[in-house]
Amino acid sequence: MAVEKLDRSTPANKIEKKPMQPIRQGDVILTPVPKIEGEKKPHLTLAEGEVTGHSHQIIEGQAELYEKDGTLYLRVLSPTALLSHEEHHAIAIPEGNWMVRIQREYEPQGWRYVAD
């Protein structure tokens, strides 16, 4: 998956392709993936905050959320979709397919999800 960097002085056959990079908002990390499978969800909430009850959700743009084997996948259909959370700046997510992950941290008792 790549994002084109358009320079009008560059011939069309010489356009530089820039790979999409992971995107992070708080404890949510979006990683680009080549394709999405799974069951389409009826909402666009990527994660619910365990401590505050705030959620990471798409509030603008066209997108679809899927789930397969306990993992969420986001498909952004518009040029960008806006990911919002009450305690973080909103982030524009580029068009494409994304795997949604929740960051974890290690404690002596074992791994745990980061509380947002």
Q: CA–CA separation, 77 vs 41, rounded Å? A: 15
Q: CA–CA separation, 113 vs 96, rounded Å? A: 26
All residues at 6 or more sequence positions from 62 whose CB lies less than 8 Å from its CB, including other chains: 76, 77, 78, 81
Confidence (pLDDT) at 53: 67
Is the per-residue pLDDT at 104 higher than 70? no
Is the per-residue pLDDT at 47 higher than 70? yes
pTM assigned to the model: 0.73
Per-residue 3-state assignment (H helix, E strand, C coil) for 11-50 = CHHHCEEEECCCEEECCEEEEECCCCCCEECCCCEEEECC
